[in-house]
Structure 1
């Protein structure tokens, strides 16, 4: 039996067209797609439909927020009520669904598919890749909630987990915190990261969210539907990043009040902090000191690790070490129960979900274009299995250590009679913890420096992502576009804080949940598009062809020659007559 190596299936065209940066014709589906490297750095100018529409809506939101804050607060409150009543279940279901989805991809037949050409080696070695993954896992959120979340869950346990002070309160507090910060968020990021990395490095597409929808929409992914998808990605990034900046401003305000002796100034000082840091970001963007930002980010990572080591050494070291395995075991044991919490359990649970789980899932969804693009860029050459293992496990381990150190230290003090949970605002609790240890002022200043650099570097990275989406997928968007989105991000953060009034955190949570809902629907469709893409991957098609060809050859060989036969691959002399060539 002869097997045509060039065209094993005569019904399949030898050449096909795929949407790509150059709209080129590519080889047979069993062969690698040639990727034109220069296509991704080339400037394509501003997409005035995507940029124009999103910019106008963003400016209109800002005008509404600054001119009529109470009106926006009322409207966002009503919208949040509708979202929670009608779609809260969707956030809960999809959050866990994405975990199952990426694990299925990694452990199944698609796990060996590379995010690049068949013979391509990983762009970064394992140590560098893990280091950058660690960097992505750190941010304002860990600084803000490192003490606050475990301590809150310990002093006010989640519904259904017993009263405060019950024997399992410590384990439940850390398990709930890890539920919000480990597998679920990084699985959400991994969906977008995989779709982008696969499309760009395996299929040669543009670095746009819409480009990943080619398997579902075909050429329509390059038309109006694609533009809508990219606009939703910009809005998700804008509001998600603004929420992070708002948290940073809240924490810096607390630090200034505690360390600098600045009295209560309401939201005015928040606006000043956001303005100053936004100006710092703009100056960095204008000066083009990309290396400076990278240098500051590396310093930030060193400072964060140093701060954690400081608390670990001067704090309850043995208690923290005991807490790590206990917290992990409690998390793994309770993950099914925590994943199943919905508003159906009553108004108390519904309110708790709004403040914690659903806010987090919405926050992670809104961060996916930014973090997904980052982890996609550093994962070229990895297989899907390696990608999922690294993206899920490395940041999850970082979160476990971080929350065990800061949350464990705070809980131990609370048990010993230091009422950190009852003193001050939630953003002040980290400073309250540090105040119990030596050189508290120095440590508190380090916290504010950390948050400030996270603010500037985070705004820089998120603005580049929005600029890239605004300029047809180029990885080097124009400076003006980047600056516009950076300024808009700072202004949106200010409006979100104002909407919350005296409880600024509520404003951040409310608008984040509302803004994330449309992109959550995009992500569900994105998962479907990715699976459809993978089903036609050259490696998968080769397996299908090989399996069918070998099966047929074995049957033919045994029928004609018994056990005495060999399989030879040669050109089919009739291929030209079949019209397949």
Structure 2
């Protein structure tokens, strides 16, 4: 049995990973269903302790992931192919980007596209020096709102996915390991990764993934219910939320059953087209020139402030700063980290044949740019309406209803209903692809890295993710349930962030080791090629030297294994003798002189020979050479 397959597993799954993961998830579901308020309270208390004592760890780690990704991309390590050196990508770039985008952000983009910039505009980040605008438009508040939104959804989010995805892809396609989280740390833990250490890593990854997916599904269902209420007037209730979960989870199960290529690929490509149509429609029907100006300005403002806001922990803002950090930045970092096993393994699965550099650029930069464009259009449209009197999104209680903010921005635009329906369609498909991809990835981890996990295992995780979302939204207060899901994502992300730091160390070591080995091989190949090249030049030089000192005979090319240094010394010595001897002209040497040229061959020892092309007694053979014969009756 090969080394990676030493992990014990049954025909369909790895018991030491599957059963503990399912048990932990079921315990949480049962507790949340039986005592929702008590469960939420316990989670909130634990989260408060973690945020106060370890919040800086999240901030520093995620900023470090961005630096790590960029350094690897621009270094020579980026030349490494994820697979054999001659491997070709399995998917076109268009399909690859579509699957990356649908799995990586999906529901969150639709939910927060207009809502988050408006939220930050209404309640600016503590410590930013920007005051709440109230009824007076505030350009400073708008700029800070877009900066903060770009921070939460841009480079930092995708850098988290790059670390996990690249570590998995390298381990699987370059090292031949199974598709599982544990094998990324084999260079650090060695054979211990096959035992309990590896089991714990995979369990943490599965539990984190399912809470990240459940959190995303919760946002999606709430927005679907809010959109339905906004369009039809039907009051959104817990029953409606659970109904949406059941229906869409059923669609996800169908997609799961059809497999990756038939299900996820088709839905991802289709949804990318629909999302692009929606984005283009809003850009054209909205304040187009304002949105273009705003996008360019947003990019400049963000990259001008990126270092400051990336490392901001709000230490001087007291409880207000701590609460804001927990509700926003740490919430997002926890969400992305908890999602990273799912997204990382999924993008690794579809990235075979890409170079490390292409992988990082594709996963880090391209989706980030598209995300910025998305928020500039939807968020910019909302800010334009709020600032210039076209729409007031701030409710009587001074807050913004994130569930319906997107649909409210459509109210003052042509084709309001069509835009709303299109947005809900995009939301549903993102819901399905997230659940489908997530269950697929969790199943691979629970089956020891099986790239084609059993259908029953995939359906199990699809059902569990739907069950968590349904229980947290349908039992008790849905807002508290969503808060609990967000908090759980932050908590589970803490141990996995440590695993991710170790992934960076492991991956850097392996890429550096491979780069060193490649340089050594290239040096050896270069030395070999240089030797062959020099040998060819030496042969040509010998040929020229002999013909210059011959007797007019057309010498044949020389093949030699003698000591070339001694041979050249002998030729030089003979040249000096000729110059000092007036009786022996260079072109009239006798055969005795030519015979002397063969002396180095005799001195070189047995097995060494020089074929000079003119035999001893060249004077008598010169006539034959002129006749086209080399002395043996053969044409020269």
Which bracket does the TM-score occupy, shorter chain normalised? 0.7 to 0.9
Alpha-carbon distance, 1:260 to partner: 2.2
Distance 1:328 1:492, change over 3 A: same
**1:436 maps to which of 409, 412, 415:** 412
Distance 1:230 1:157, change over 3 A: same
**2:500 maps to which of 499, 523, 535:** 523
Structure 2 residues not aligned, in runs of 5+? 531-540, 542-636
Q: Distance in 1 between matches of 2:194 and 2:484?
A: 36
Q: Confirm or deny that 1:403 pairs with 2:375.
A: yes
Query: What corresponds to 1:536 in structure 2?
Result: 513
**1:448 maps to which of 424, 433, 436:** 424
Q: Distance in 2 between matches of 1:444 and 1:130?
A: 25
Alpha-carbon distance, 1:87 to partner: 1.1
Equivalent residue pairs, number: 521
Distance 1:137 1:413, change over 3 A: same
For normalisation by structure 2, the TM-score amounts to 0.77
Instruction: Please list, as runs of the form range in 1=range in 2, the aligned pairs for 1:333-412 lying within 5 A after superposition.
Output: 333-345=304-316, 346-412=318-384
**1:163 maps to which of 107, 111, 131:** 131
Query: What corresponds to 1:272 in structure 2?
Result: 243
Matched residue SS, 2:131: coil
Query: What corresponds to 1:218 in structure 2?
Result: 190
Q: Confirm or deny that 1:116 pairs with 2:83.
A: yes
Larger Rg: 2
Q: Confirm or deny that 1:300 pairs with 2:267.
A: no
Instruction: Please list, as runs of the form range in 1=range in 2, the aligned pairs for 1:60-209 lying within 5 A after superposition.
Output: 60-161=27-128, 162-165=130-133, 166-209=138-181
Distance 1:192 1:284, change over 3 A: closer
Greater Cα shift, 327-336 or 371-380: 371-380
Q: Distance in 2 between matches of 1:309 and 1:445?
A: 15
On the 8 A contact 2:95/2:265 being kept in 1, the answer is no
Alpha-carbon distance, 1:134 to partner: 4.1
Distance 1:284 1:549, change over 3 A: closer
Instruction: Please list, as runs of the form range in 1=range in 2, the aligned pairs for 1:496-515 lying within 5 A after superposition.
Output: 496-497=472-473, 498=475, 501-515=478-492
Kindly provide the CA deviation profile for residues 268-287 of structure 1, in whole angstroms up to 9, marking residues without a partner as x.
32222212222332344456
Matched residue SS, 1:110: helix
Q: Confirm or deny that 1:419 pairs with 2:392.
A: yes
Q: Distance in 2 between matches of 1:202 and 1:292?
A: 27
Query: What corresponds to 2:468 in structure 1?
Result: 492
Distance 1:214 1:317, change over 3 A: same
Distance 1:124 1:540, change over 3 A: farther
Higher relative contact order (CA 8 A, sep 6+): 1
On the 8 A contact 1:44/1:472 being kept in 2, the answer is no
Kindly provide the CA deviation profile for residues 387-430 of structure 1, in whole angstroms up to 9, marking residues without a partner as x.
11121110011111100100010000001221113376211100
On the 8 A contact 1:238/1:489 being kept in 2, the answer is yes
Q: Distance in 1 between matches of 2:267 and 2:525?
A: 56
Cα RMSD (Å): 2.8
Kindly provide the CA deviation profile for residues 455-507 of structure 1, in whole angstroms up to 9, marking residues without a partner as x.
12211110011111111111111111111111110111233445765455423
Q: Distance in 2 between matches of 1:322 and 1:43?
A: 59
On the 8 A contact 1:501/1:507 being kept in 2, the answer is no
Matched residue SS, 1:431: helix
For normalisation by structure 1, the TM-score amounts to 0.84
